Each structure stands twice: as structure tokens, then as C-alpha cells.
Structure 1
Amino acid sequence: MRAIRLHAFGPAENLVLEEVEDPRPGPGQVRVAVRAAGVHLLDTALREGVQGPLPQPPDLPTVPGREVAGVVDALGEGTSGDWLGRRVVVHLGFAPGGYAELAVADAARLHEIPANLDFAEAVAMIGTGRTTMGILQFADLGPGSVAVVPAAAGGIGTLLVQYAKHAGATVIGLAGGPEKTARVAANGADLAVDYRDPEWPAKVRAHLGGDEATVVFDGVGGDVAREAVALLGPGGRHLVFGWSGMSPHDGDGIPYLVEGVSQQVLGPVMMEKAGGDDPVRTLELRALAQAAEGRLVPAVHRFPLAGAAAAHRALENRGTTGKVVLEP
């Protein structure tokens, strides 16, 4: 099979397409003929070998990627034959292997793909969709809410805008550049503004006409988030789930707090709130159900498998819209 391999930590160019041996499923596993593989910003940090708050970098050489969708084409010992030939999506956990034409996964982690989703959309929902469901547990959105979504053209941002509108909230979407702000507006935001414009906070305040934001969904950190938090009124919530606008070496130190505003850094607490024996799977099921019912429609930015390096560069340079996937 063809796969993307990483032999040395470093720049995106270190991701190379190679011919490797086909994997074989073990007991309780299946093999998936991959039609879409998710690419995450975390993958770019692992590719560089970044230490610190991130998971331990993988042993090399490795095939990156932890989210795949495709068709089950082989079964391991003891795996139900019902899976053979079915369209499935699965998060591989911390085991790599997704950037490939074939991947092995535990049968217990599989989800059948809803009929109205293609493979790339399914990957988006068990990755960014799962995270979105985790974040929304802390949002308490409804009529009268005013939600500010930085990075609103991204994978999570797109879903947050849709969910907030469905809940009856007023939604302010922030994005970089006219193309992305146009996407945010088309996605349903009440106001889409370019955060590269130094006057964007004034434009938001003028639109709100004296009202104040009630929640900021912060996945970027940095100056954009600082300005967004200043829009919150007393009792507002600053939900932090990432810092793509900051260096991964900056860790989780968020250097701005506003009196009267509650700040919560989301991470393992999302799993704790989801509860159950398998909270990750609980959130995946919620995300797929939202998509199956048409309430959430993921945005997808597609690259060919051979374009893995280009996909990483685009993510690092904020040149993507929606969930990034590789399609073998």
C-alpha cells in the first residue's frame, strides 16, 4: 500500500509518500480501506517532535494520523463478520497509521457512517465534531445568548456557529480575510468580521447596539482572543479549548482575565462531563447523531494523500477552511 511516512522530526517536507507492507488486523480488529484520513493541528506539532504539554512524540519511522473513514475489507480473529464491507469511521486513539491506503482499528471503536455523510464528513464529525460536542457541554446557549466564535471558518468554528444559531443565539464569527469571512456569513453567522481589521471590535459593538457577549469560544488565544474577551459582559464565559494563534511552546498560560467573567480551560474536563464508561465514544455518537439529523454540516478541506506536506503547511499558515482530510 501507499502511506505517508515520517523518518525524522522537522518540517512538513519530511512527510514522504512511500510503498509499505499492507497491515494485517489482529484479534478483535478490522482493516479499513481508507477513503479519508483526518489531519489535526496536533499532528503538525508531533511531526516536529515538540515536547511539553503535548503527547509524547511517536517512535520513528511512523505513519501519522489518528482518524480514518473507509470500508472494512478484512477481519481479525474473533471479529464479527457483520463489519465486512461496511462504511465505517474510527478514531485510532494514540496509535498512528491513518495517513495510508489501509489502516487497522479495534472493532469496538468503529462507527457505521450515516447514509447522508461522505467519508471526509464522517472523519470531521468524529474529530472536530467530537470536540465541538465536548465544548458545548459548558456553553448553555439559547435565545438571548451572544456567542463570539474566533476562527469561525475552521472545522470546530463552523460547527459552533451552526449549533449556536440552531439554539437561537446571536452569533459573531471572526475569520482572517474576505474569503473566510464570506464563508462564515454563508454558514449563518449574524455578523462575520475580519480579525485582521484593527477596527473589528468596534464593528462588533456597533452591531450589538449596546448588548454584550455572553460566551467566547476561544481556540486561538493571543490578541484576537484578548479583544474578544473584552466584549463579554458580567457573568460571561470564556471557554478556552486551544491556542492556534500562539506557539505550542507557550503552553496553556492564558494571560488575560476580565473581572466578572468566568474562564474555563477545557481539556480532560470535557471527558469527565460527558461521563459514562467511554466518554470519548459518547461524544463521537452525539456528533454523528447531530450530522445524521442535518443539524450540523461539517466543512471539509480536502487534499490528496500525496499532498500531506501541503496539508500540514496550509494548517500551520491558517490557509485552510474546515476539517483537513487526506483522500487516498
Structure 2
Amino acid sequence: MHAIRLHAFGPAENLSYEEVADPLPGPGQVRIAVAAAGVHLLDTALREGEQGPLPEPIRLPTVPGREVAGVVESLGEGVAGLWLGRRVVAHLGFAPGGYAELAVTDVDRVHEIPANLDFAAAVAMIGTGRTAMGIVQFAEFGPDAVAVIPAAAGGLGTLLVQYAKNAGATVVGLAGGPEKTARVAAGGADLAVDYKQPGWPDKVRAHLGGRAATVVLDGVGGEVARHCTQLLGPGGRHLVFGWSAAGVRGGGPHLVDGVSEQVLGPVMMRKAGGPNPVQTLELRALAEAAAGRLTPAVQRFPLAEAAAAHRALETRKTTGKVVLEP
């Protein structure tokens, strides 16, 4: 098979398209003929040698990627034959191997893809959609809610805008540059604002006509977050789940005492509850997409151009979820 391999930590150019041996499914595993592989901002940090949330150091050479969708084409010992030939999606967890034509994972991680979803949409929902479902658990949306969403043109922001609108909230979506801002407007936001333009908070205040924001869904941090928190009224909430303005490896979120709440992974999982909180959120995400309530935005790259996908993601030249297609 062909796969993307990383032999040395460093820039995107270190990702190489190679022919490698097919992986073999072990007991309780399936092998998936990959039709779409998700790319995450965290992947760019891991590529440069950062440990991130991984429990063990990355061993080189490695095949990056942790989100895949495709068709089950081989079964390991003990796996029911009914899985063979099914369209499935899976988050591989901490295991690598997604940027490839074939990927192996435990059958317990696999979900059948609803008939009306394509592979790229499914892979967007299994990772980014799962995170969106985790975040909205903490938001109190309704007709009186005013939600401000930075990075609203991204894969996660797009879903948050849609969810908030479906719940009846007034939504202000922020993005950088006219092209991304236009996408936010087309995606359903009541107001789409270019945060690169001077005085953008005043534009938001003018649009709201005296209403204050009730919640900020913030994965950006930095100066954008500071201005967003100043738009909040009494009792307003600042939900923090990332700080991309500081880069994956640096800085920290903008926090305001009594206003900001960090709703990162472990907090999301505790809120989701159940015997397997991760799968709870994955199933919610897939169900929302299957029902047509959430439609992920996707930017596709050929598998062989994984380096270009990483560069585009790092330089904020992407819109929606970045997906590699063999």
C-alpha cells in the first residue's frame, strides 16, 4: 500500500509518500480500505516532535493520522463476519496509521457510517464533530442566547455555528479575511465579522443593538478572545477549549476570573458520562450529521499531498476539516 511516512521530526516537507507493507489486523481488529483520513492541527505539532497528549514517545518512522473512514476489507481473529464490506469510520485513539491506503484498528472503535454520509463527512464528525458535541454540552443555547464564535470558518467553528443556530441562538461568527468571512455568512451566522479589520468589536456591538453576548465559544485565545470577553454581559460565559492564536505548543488561553471555563477533553468526557463517553459523543455527532442538522465543511487534499495539507493548516489557509483522500 501507499502511506505517508515521517522519518525525522521537522517541517511539513519531512512527510513522504511511500510504498510500505500492508498492516495486518490482529485479534479483535479490522483492516479498513481508507477513503478519507482526517488531519488535525495537533498532527502538525506531533510532526515536529512535540509529545502532545500521547502517553508514549512517537517512534520513527511512523505513519501519522488518527481518524479514518472507508470500507472494512479484512478481519482479525474473533471479529464477526458481518463487519466485512461495511462502510465505517473510526478514531484510532493514540495509535498512528491514518495517512494510508489501509489502516488497522480495534473493532470496538468502529462505527458504521449512516447511508446518507460520505466518507469525508464521516471522518470530520468522528473527530471534530465529537469535539463539537463535547463543547455544546456546556452552552445554554436558546432564543435569548447570543453566541460569539471565533474561528467560525474552521471545521469545528462551522459545526458550532450550525448547532447554535439550530438551537435558536443569535450567532456572531468571526474569521480572518474576506473569503473566510463570506463562508461564515453562508454557513448561517447572523453576523460574520473579519477580526483582522480594525474596530471589529464595534461592528458586533452595533449589530446587536444593545444586546450583550451570553456565551463565547473560544478555541483561539489571544487578543481575539480578549475582545470577545469584553462583549459579554452580566452572567456571560467564556467557554475555552483551545488557544490556536498561541500555536499548538505555546502560550495559553485568555482567562477572566468568574467568567472563563476551560472545557477541555477530560472535562468534556466527564460531562458526557456513560460507560464510554468518547463513543457517546461520537455517536451524537454522527446522528446529528445523519439527520441533516449538522453539515461539516471539508477541504480535501490527495493523500500524496499531505505535506501541502499540513502547510495550509499551519498557515491558516484552510476552511473546514482537512481530509486526505488516497
Report if TM-score (shorter chain) is over 0.5. yes
Aligned to 1:236: 236
Q: CA deviation at 1:261?
A: 2.5
1:25-71 deviations in whole A, cap 9, x for unaligned? Answer: 01111100000000000000000012466765411100000000000
The reply to whether residue 219 of structure 1 matches residue 209 of structure 2 is: no
After TM superposition, give the deviation of residue 266 of structure 1 in Å: 2.3
Tell me, in whole angstroms, the C-alpha distance in 2 between the residues paired with 1:245 and 1:311. 19
2:93: which partner in 1?
93
Q: Is the 8 A contact 1:239 1:266 kept in 2?
A: no
Offset at residue 304 of structure 1 (A): 0.2
Aligned ranges 1:290-309 → 2 under 5 Å: 290-309=288-307
Provide the secondary structure at the position in 1 that maps to 2:312. Answer: helix
SS at match of 2:244: coil
Which residue identity does 1:291 align to in structure 2?
A
The residue aligned with 2:321 is 323
Residue in structure 2 matched with residue 257 of structure 1 by the alignment: 256
The answer as to whether partners of 1:46 and 1:57 remain within 8 angstroms in 2 is: no
Counterpart of 2:83 in structure 1 is 83
Q: 1:313 pairs with 307, 311, 314, which one?
A: 311
Is 1:150 the equivalent of 2:150? yes
1:116 Cα shift? Answer: 1.1
* 8 Å CA contact retained: 2:24, 2:31: yes
Task: Give the structure 2 partner of residue 179 of structure 1.
Answer: 179
> Which letter maps to 2:4?
I
2:170 aligns with 170
Partner letter of residue 35 of structure 2? R
SS at match of 2:305: helix
TM-score (normalised: structure 1): 0.97
What CA distance in whole angstroms lies between the structure 1 residues aligned with 2:237 and 2:162?
19
Q: Paired residue for 1:39?
A: 39
- In the aligned structure 1, how far is the partner of 2:154 from the partner of 2:161? 10
Partner-residue secondary structure (3-state), 2:239: strand
Q: Which runs of 4+ in 1 moved over 6 A?
A: none
Aligned-residue offset at 1:199: 1.3
2:16 matched to 1:29? no
1:277 aligns with 2:258: no
Deviations 1:105-161 (A, max 9, x none): 111111110111100000000110000000000001111100000000001100000
Q: CA RMSD in A?
A: 1.3
**Secondary structure in 1 matching 2:245:** coil
CA distance in 1, matches of 2:131, 2:84: 29
Partner of 2:196: 196
Report how many residues are paired.
326
Deviation string for 1:191-210 (max 9, x for gaps)?
A: 00101001110000000011
- Aligned counterpart, 1:65: 65
Equivalent position amino acid for 1:2 in 2: H
Which amino acid is 2:256 matched to? L
Report % sequence identity. Answer: 79
User: Structure 2: how far apart are the matches of 1:315 and 1:262?
Assistant: 27
Could you say which residue in structure 2 is the equivalent of 1:115?
115
Structure-2 separation of matches of 1:54 and 1:102: 22
Aligned mates of 2:51, 2:33 — CA distance in 1? 32
The aligned amino acid for 1:247 is: G
**Secondary structure of the residue that 1:70 maps to in structure 2?**
strand
8 Å Cα contact 2:218-2:239 kept in structure 1: yes
The change in CA–CA distance for 1:54 and 1:20 in structure 2 (over 3 A counts) is closer
Alpha-carbon deviations, 1:4-42, whole Å to 9, x = none? 000000000000000000011011111000000000000
| SS of residue paired to 1:249 | coil
- For the 8 Å contact 2:270–2:277, the answer to whether it is kept is yes
Does structure 2 retain, via aligned residues, the 8 Å contact 1:235–1:262? no
| Whole-angstrom CA distance in 1 between matches of 2:168 and 2:202 | 24
Structure 1: gaps spanning 5 or more residues: none
Q: What whole-Å deviation, never above 9, does each CA across 1:295-320 have from its counterpart, x for those lacking one?
A: 00000010000110000011100010
1:51-62 superposed matches below 5 A: 51=51, 56-62=56-62
**What is the CA-CA distance between 1:277 and the residue it aligns to?**
1.2
The separation in 2 between residues aligned to 1:115 and 1:57, in whole angstroms, is 38
Q: 1:65 to 1:163 in 2, by over 3 A?
A: same
**Which residue in 1 is equivalent to 2:128?**
128
